[in-house]
Amino acid sequence: MVIYGDYHTHTIYSSGKHKRKHATGSILENALFAKQKGLKEIAITEHGFSHKLYGLQRKNLEQMRKEINEAKLKTGINILLGIEANIISSEGDVDLTLNDIKNFDFIIVGFHCFAKSKSLKEYFKFFLPNILGFKRKKDYKRNTLALLKAMDKYPIDVISHPGVKMPIDFAEVAQQAKKTNTMLEINGKRIAYKENDVITIKNAGAKFIISSDAHSANRVGEVRKPINFAIKNNISNNDIANMGKRINYKNYKN
């Protein structure tokens, strides 16, 4: 199993400021490691704007685009400017404006405990139960509805690490993912799927995507964990959007 591209990678821009080293590696370094590992394409997907500790800053987007264009020329790797945006409410709102969306080629959305909620009410209603690890019926229902609404509202390419810190009904999510052409990630670090979840997603016809979630340049393309998971759970190449082929994305025009 060989992936065409790694569509979930971070650089020093995920720290918000270059002084903070939550993520290490430049855009060029990510591309160089991708080339070394035989990849054809990568996405730079920094943490969303509302991430309290290391969110992307809008003022860096112009410089990032410049570095992406330079790295493309130097490496021959196609590079997408993406973002790993945050779900910030039970209504499926994410930390992107309509103008923001125009600036990105590729949009990942996921739940992160350290993101800033849309309101204090949403913190107690949506964030806190997930932070505390509640898995009541109403938590599944609330979280699932938030994801369904997010996929309906925004041109989301990928749901990152589905079910991690946010328990969901995979049957409903998979049906919406199929309808909206949204891929469900098999993450290089965190995988919440159970065997029955995989069967449910495959039966719905939704596609998986394998990503590294690299926070250092040398981890770009390191997807042994998700590939082993795919093999163990009988997920075929046809079920994985980036397995040996370029994916379809909603915003990017080559």
- Chain segment 41-95, per-residue pLDDT in tens: 999 999 999 988 789 999 999 999 999 999 999 999 999 999 999 999 999 999 9
Q: Look at residue 106 in the predicted model and tell me its pLDDT.
A: 97
Beta-ladder partners of 183: 158
Q: Measuring CA to CA, which residue among 224, 194, 200 is closest to residue 1? A: 224
Task: Calculate the CA 197 to chain-centre distance.
Answer: 19
Q: What are phi and psi of 56, to 5 degrees?
A: -65, 145
| pLDDT at residue 22 in the model | 56
CA–CA separation, 28 and 30 (whole Å) = 5
Comparing CA positions, the residue from 193, 141, 140 lying closest to residue 167 is: 140
Give the per-residue pLDDT at 145.
Answer: 98
Q: How does residue 17 score in pLDDT terms, banded at 50, 70 and 90?
A: very low
Residue 254: per-residue pLDDT:
63
- What mean pLDDT is predicted for residues 11-23? 62
Q: What is the pLDDT of residue 3?
A: 96
**Per-residue pLDDT at 80:** 98
For residues 215-224, average pLDDT: 95
Q: What DSSP assignment string belongs to 96-134?
A: --HHHHHT-SEEEEE--TTBPPSSHHHIIIIIHHHHTT-
- What confidence score (pLDDT) does residue 232 get? 96
Mean pLDDT for the stretch of residues 20-44 = 88
For residue 154, pLDDT over 90 is answered with yes
Of the candidates 203, 211, 212, the one whose C-alpha atom is nearest the C-alpha of residue 234 is 203
What are the pLDDT digits (tens) for 173-193? 999 999 999 999 999 999 999
Q: Rounded to an integer, what is the distance from CA 113 to the centroid of its chain?
A: 15
Instruction: Please provide the average confidence, as pLDDT, over all residues in the chain.
Output: 94
| Domain-wise residue ranges, the chain | 5-239
CATH class of 5-239: alpha beta
Q: CA-CA-CA-CA torsion for 22, 28, 29, 32, nearest 10 degrees?
A: 150
The strand ranges marked E within the chain are 5-9, 41-47, 78-86, 106-110, 158-159, 183-187, 208-211
Q: Is the pLDDT of residue 19 over 70?
A: no
Q: Which whole number is the average pLDDT over 15-35?
A: 75
Please determine, for residue 15, whether its predicted confidence score (pLDDT) is greater than 70.
no
∠ CA 39-43-47, nearest 5°, is: 140
Q: What is the pTM of this model?
A: 0.94
